[in-house]
Amino acid sequence: MTCILHVAVQTPAHSGVGDLLSYQHTEALAPGTLVRVPLGQREVLGVVWDALPGEPLPAMAQLRPVAGVLAGLAPLDAAWRRLVAFAARYYQRGLGEVALAALPPQLRELGPEQLARRLRRPAAPAQDAPDAPETTETIALSAEQQSVCSQIASQPGPFLLYGSTGSGKTEVYLHSVQAALARDPAAQALVMVPEINLTPQLEARFRARFAPLYGAGSVVSLHSGMTNPQRLASWLAAHSGRARIVLGTRMAVFASLPGLALIVVDEEHDASYKQQEGARYSARDLALWRGREQGAKVILGSATPSLESWHASRPPTPEDPQGGRYLRLHMPSRIGAGALPRLRLVDMAQQPRGAVFSPPLLAAMTERVERGEQCLVLLNRRGFAPVLHCHACGWKSDCPHCSAHQVFHKTDRSLRCHHCGFAQRVPRACPGCGNLDIAPVGRGTEQLEEQLAALLRNVITPARRAARVARIDADTTRAKGALEEQLAQVHAGEVDVLVGTQMVAKGHDFRRITLVAAVQPDGALFSSDFRAPERLFALLMQAAGRAGRDARYMEAQASQPEMWVQTWHPDHALFAALRRHDYPAFAAQQLGERAQAGMPPFAFQALVRADARTQETAQAFLQAAGDAARATPLPGLEQVFIFPPVPLAVQRVANVERAQMLLESTSRTALQRFLAAWQPLLHAERARHKGLVRWLVDVDPQAI
């Protein structure tokens, strides 16, 4: 008997092919079964899908046969398929595009025989995993932690765990995971972190706690820093139920977890949870949807929650008796009665002209290093200087392919574009006028490292050696294992002053750092992006949290943690809230401004972006698409405001011009109805604009 199968395959983005393709097979296959099917001249992986309601059946003679079935692998369950279908629908992408991107890359390349051989292999031990101890460690919970864990156990959630830096949120995660796994022998937990470099240290803690209880293979990781075989092994362990805990970055939200009982999203405010290529999904938002749909509890944790989550966790009031959808849990105290860092603002208008480090800050750092303590200096800009400049003719080191400057990297004497990757040697003289005196303008982490090494060269530590300055950013951590090696040096006390970007400002448990300094944070205060103050406040609060985390060490040193901020605007309201470590006050002020302006979370947004050979073509496509939507008119249009198209801040990247058009509505439903109905018009307009390279829809954008 020949059957018709509906299969999701990874068709090209915006191809207009449709969500499902039909094939014939000798027997019916359960939805979720993985198959190899012909697509054009290729053979690709596909997922057998439920038939869409009202879908007409094609003639059997027109259908190509399924090439092979990946037997031995349990079908992807209905809950996973619903998650993929929702993500594709909400973020305006193809069903097959989302479904296949959610599977491990190596799985997409395997045929039935290759997979069968792979499944016959014994499960490989976790890569670079520390040996599990024979007995699990037990840590007594503080009263705050115990109260929070009790509420998580007794309430349905979702929960927003608002805990200050160093308050012990990770121990709450561990306790909640342990409770969830103990209740059901088939239960699984998903724990997400925003960045790859935070995964190994968290993995070590989870292995120490759970490997003795459930075996060495019970904890696996999923992130893009793993090799393809490692990712496949972790995915198979999660899909089969052998792995009880999956730790990962945003991609892990799509892991096949048939026994999912608990989802933890650590540092839930972090913008890294929003995918910026392909299907631009928010892993945090999908985690909430998945938890509700699968009956799993969801814990969002942060010391500086996103304003959307903060608003959604508002307690009931007489004016708002219903309150928010989340239950807010508060842990204001640091473990071990550690003190939060004292904020010291330095008015740079009162400091010597051209000073990179103010004399008071330099004196404070010198004192700390001489006592054997460590300092952290934060500057969220890598390289030596943002631009090289000729004062004679005005030449700047512009990228020839982008509307941006090439950044000067002194280490290898190169100019690099951080947008398209183009690099070249630093010219010996100005290309415009031949002037030999071309100078760097602005500062990057390379320059701070060099200047600090010179300023602290005569400072002697208690170990009777000169002060050591190190730098951690994307440039110093390119090599495999480089980040782990550098972090180990910091933890071992071999580094006295650490200079870094935001990658060292969050999640790391530096026990000897007692002073944190932010050198140039003012740019975000007056950004055109309405989310910039929120991101700056979170970054500074997270960075401050690296200081004074070990209360016993601070007591032994008779020291107090400090956060120094050098600014030209010391009276800004953001710094007033930061001085008090008062996130609620900052959030209330920001939410008040957003409510008045009708911005998220009080409105919902989508961006349509066009990339073309010329800026005129990009904007013409967007304008025509908006005009077509108004002329039709599309459902939901009366509740959607379409702004005029404008260039992006960096409007040219890799010789491609970029423009965007913002859509805004007070109704999420109306915006979604409009976007779904708009898709055919966008396809039609693309055919009329020959210079258009691509277009995309970004729902709930994080940057405008």
Q: Residue 584 in contact with residue 648, Cβ under 8 Å?
A: no
Q: How far apart are CA 394 and CA 239, in angstroms?
A: 59
DSSP per-residue letters across 82-97: HHHHHHHHHTT--HHH
The neighbour count for residue 137, using CB atoms within 10 Å, is: 10
| Strands laid side by side in the 414-416 sheet | 407-409, 414-416, 423-425
What does the DSSP assignment read for 206-272?
Answer: HHHHHHHHH-GGGEEEE-TTS-HHHHHHHHHHHHHT--SEEEESGGGGG---TTEEEEEEETTT-GG
* Alpha-carbon dihedral sign for residues 226, 228, 233, 235: positive
Q: Cα–Cα distances in Å, from 500 out to 11, 303, 382?
A: 41, 21, 8
End-to-end distance of the chain based on CA atoms, in angstroms? 55
Question: Read out DSSP for 41-83?
Answer: TEEEEEEEEPPPTTPPPPPGGGPPBP-EE-TTSPPPPHHHHHH
Output the 3-class SS for 152-214.
HHHCCCCEEEEECCCCCHHHHHHHHHHHHHHHCCCCEEEEECCCHHHHHHHHHHHHHHHHHHH
Q: Please answer whether residues 369 and 467 qualify as being in contact, where contact means their C-beta atoms are separated by less than 8 angstroms.
A: yes
State phi, psi for 144 to the nearest 5 degrees.
Answer: -65, -45
Distance CA 34, CA 115 (A): 11
Answer yes or no: are the C-beta atoms of 135 and 267 closer than 8 Å.
no
Written as one letter, the residue type at 641 is F
Nearest to 446 by CA among 407, 479, 485: 407
Sheet holding 34-39, edge to edge: 21-25, 3-9, 42-49, 34-39, 68-69
Q: Which residues are annotated as a binding site for Zn(2+)?
A: 390, 393, 399, 402, 417, 420, 430, 433
Structure tokens at 305: 């929650």
Which residues line the annotated binding site? 390, 393, 399, 402, 417, 420, 430, 433
**Which residues are CB-neighbours of 263 under 8 A, at least 6 positions away?**
189, 190, 191, 192, 287, 290, 291, 296, 297, 298, 299
Token duo for residue 167: 């308050």
Nearest to 204 by CA among 253, 247, 148, 254: 247
C-alpha–C-alpha distance, residues 473 and 507, integer Å: 15
Q: If we measure between CA atoms, which residue out of 627, 635, 617, 612 comes closest to residue 682?
A: 627
Hunting for tokens 């020291």 — which residue is that?
559
Q: For residue 447, give both structure tokens.
A: 């320059």
The number of beta carbons lying within 10 Å of the beta carbon of residue 123 is 15
Crossing angle of helices 283-294 and 78-90, rounded to 10°: 140
Q: To which H or E segment does residue 517 belong?
A: strand 513-518
Residue 425 DSSP symbol? E
Residue 244 in contact with residue 210, Cβ under 8 Å?
A: yes
User: What is the CB neighbour count within 10 angstroms for residue 570?
Assistant: 16
